[in-house]
C-alpha cells in the first residue's frame, strides 16, 4: 500500500528501490522509538508540484534530531532538493513525504554516534477524511513535557497517539482529543486544535503540544484575513460551548468537527469563520488565489461569512 516493486526512496545518500532497501532488527530506533520524522505534503499546483512549507519541515526535523541528541548533518536545502527528486522519480504530484532519521544497532540507553536518513513518498488522501468529525475526549493525556521533548517530532511519542486514536475508534468516534497534565485541551493524536467563538479563534499555547506548521499557517491566515486569534488554555467544557472547532495538521489539513463527546457545535460549519480558513488553507497549499471553488457548487463564488463576503480573502499571499 505504501510502495510497490517500482517505488524509489532515498536512503543514506542513494536512491534505491523501496522493495530492496533494508534496515536492521537490532536498530536502537526500532527497540526504543529513538528516531525523528516529518510528515510533509506535496501538491499539484498551477506552478507544478510544490512541497508546502518544505523548509519549515526540514528545519523541524533538524530541531527534533538535535533535541533528542541524534547526530544530524543534513542541510535543509539539500533535503528539499532530494524530496523533489523522490517525487519526480516516482512520478508523484499530490503526495505525502516521510523523512525518517533513525539510529543503528545499539541496545544501550545512550545516545547514538551515528544516524541514518530515509525519505519515502506515497500518494495519500486526506488523513482524517473530508466529513465533519465526531471527536472523543481521550482517557490518555499527552506525554508530560517534563518527560519528553514534546515539541519535537519523535517516533516514540506516537505510541501515545496510537492508543488515543484507537480508543476513539473503538468507541465509535472518528478521532481523539487529548488533554495535558492539568486537564486543559492539548491536541489531537496527529493534529492541533482550534475552536471558534463569536468570530474569534482560540488554540492552546505552544507549551504542552507539538506546535504544528499548519497551526502556524492558520494563525498566519487569521492575520491576513483580520480574524482575531488567541492562544490560551481552555477546558473541554469551554470547548463544548464553542460555535465550532477544527483539527489542523499537514496530513489532516483543516478539518471541522461535528461534535465533542456527542455534544454538537452551535453553528453549521458552512456559516463559520473556520470554514473560511479551511478554504484559505486550500488556496495557500494549491498556490491559488481565493475566492475558491465552493465545495457544494463547484462554481467560483466569493466566500461568504454571515452574509458578508470577506473582501480580503482574495489577497492571500502565497
Active site residues: 153
**C-beta closer to ligand PMP: residue 90 or 192:** 192
**C-beta closer to ligand PMP: residue 182 or 264:** 182
End-to-end CA distance of the chain: give it in Å, rounded.
33
Residue 190 lies near ligand PMP (rule: CB under 6 A)? yes
From the list 4-12, 126-134, 187-195, 223-231, the region that binds ligand PMP by CB under 6 A is 187-195
Number of CB atoms found within 10 A of residue 22's CB: 6
Residue 250 lies near ligand PMP (rule: CB under 6 A)? yes
> Using the rule CB under 6 A, which residue among 249, 254, 256, 284 binds ligand PMP?
249
Q: How far is CA 23 from CA 29, 117, 118, in A?
A: 11, 11, 11
Closest CB 216 distance from ligand PMP, rounded Å = 8
Closest CB 76 distance from ligand PMP, rounded Å = 15
Report the run of H or E that residue 122 belongs to, with start and end: strand 116-122
> Using the rule CB under 6 A, which residue among 7, 214, 274, 292 binds ligand PMP?
214
* 3-state SS assignment for residue 246: strand
Per this entry, what is the length of the chain? 318
Q: Which residue is nearest to ligand PMP (CB)?
A: 212
* # of chain residues touching ligand PMP (CB under 6 A): 12
**C-beta closer to ligand PMP: residue 180 or 187:** 187
Q: How far is CA 237 from CA 26, 212, 231, 261, 286, in A?
A: 46, 24, 17, 11, 36
Q: Grid coordinates standing for 257? A: 468537527
Task: Return the closest-CA partner of residue 238 out of 137, 166, 133, 128.
Answer: 137
From the list 10-18, 69-77, 190-198, 236-244, the region that binds ligand PMP by CB under 6 A is 190-198
Closest CB 139 distance from ligand PMP, rounded Å = 17
Residue 212 lies near ligand PMP (rule: CB under 6 A)? yes
Residue with cell 514534546: 150
Closest CB 251 distance from ligand PMP, rounded Å = 7
From the list 169-177, 210-218, 225-233, 234-242, the region that binds ligand PMP by CB under 6 A is 210-218
Pick out residues in 17-46 that bind ligand PMP (CB under 6 A). Answer: 39
Q: How far is CA 180 from CA 13, 76, 161, 184, 254, in A?
A: 39, 32, 13, 5, 22
Contact 263, 23 (CB under 8 A): no
Residue 143 lies near ligand PMP (rule: CB under 6 A)? no
Closest CB 9 distance from ligand PMP, rounded Å = 20
**C-beta closer to ligand PMP: residue 60 or 106:** 60
DSSP category for residue 154: B
Closest CB 153 distance from ligand PMP, rounded Å = 6
Report the run of H or E that residue 141 belongs to, with start and end: strand 133-141
> Using the rule CB under 6 A, which residue among 68, 101, 119, 191 binds ligand PMP?
191
Number of CB atoms found within 10 A of residue 88's CB: 12
CA atoms of 168 and 180, how far apart (whole Å): 17
CA atoms of 49 and 295, how far apart (whole Å): 23
Binding site for ligand PMP (CB under 6 A): 39, 187, 190-192, 210, 212-215, 249-250
Amino acid at each position: 500500500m505504501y510502495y510497490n516493486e517500482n517505488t524509489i526512496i532515498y536512503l543514506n545518500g542513494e536512491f534505491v528501490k523501496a522493495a530492496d532497501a533494508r534496515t536492521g532488527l537490532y536498530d536502537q530506533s526500532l527497540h526504543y522509538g529513538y528516531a525523528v520524522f516529518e510528515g510533509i505534503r506535496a501538491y499539484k499546483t498551477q506552478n507544478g508540484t510544490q512541497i508546502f512549507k518544505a523548509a519549515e519541515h526540514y528545519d523541524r526535523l533538524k530541531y527534533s534530531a538535535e533535541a533528542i541528541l541524534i547526530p544530524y548533518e543534513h542541510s535543509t536545502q539539500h533535503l528539499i532538493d532530494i524530496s523533489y527528486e523522490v517525487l519526480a522519480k516516482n512520478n508523484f504530484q499530490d503526495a505525502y513525504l516521510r523523512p525518517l532519521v533513525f539510529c543503528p544497532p545499539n541496545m544501550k540507553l545512550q545516545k547514538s554516534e551515528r544516524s541514518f536518513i530515509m525519505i519515502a513518498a506515497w500518494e495519500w488522501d486526506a488523513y482524517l477524511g473530508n466529513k465533519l468529525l465526531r471527536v472523543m475526549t481521550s482517557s490518555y493525556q499527552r506525554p508530560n513535557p517534563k518527560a519528553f521533548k514534546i515539541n519535537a517530532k519523535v517516533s516514540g511519542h506516537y505510541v501515545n497517539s496510537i492508543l488515543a486514536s484507537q480508543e476513539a475508534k473503538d468507541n465509535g468516534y472518528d478521532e481523539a482529543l487529548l488533554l495535558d497534565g492539568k486537564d486543559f485541551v492539548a491536541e489531537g493524536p496527529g493534529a492541533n486544535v482550534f475552536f471558534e467563538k463569536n468570530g474569534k479563534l482560540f488554540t492552546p499555547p505552544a507549551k504542552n503540544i507539538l506546535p504544528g506548521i499548519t497551526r502556524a499557517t492558520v494563525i498566519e491566515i487569521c492575520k491576513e484575513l483580520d480574524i482575531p486569534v488567541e492562544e490560551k488554555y481552555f477546558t473541554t467544557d469551554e470547548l463544548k460551548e464553542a460555535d465550532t472547532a477544527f483539527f489542523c495538521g499537514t496530513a489532516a489539513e483543516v478539518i471541522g468537527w461535528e461534535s465533542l463527546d456527542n455534544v454538537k457545535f452551535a453553528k453549521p460549519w458552512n456559516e463559520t469563520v473556520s470554514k473560511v480558513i479551511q478554504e484559505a488553507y486550500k488556496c495557500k497549499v494549491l498556490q491559488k488565489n481565493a475566492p475558491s471553488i465552493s465545495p457544494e457548487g463547484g462554481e467560483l463564488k466569493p466566500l461568504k461569512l454571515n452574509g458578508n463576503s470577506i473582501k480580503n480573502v482574495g489577497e492571500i499571499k502565497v
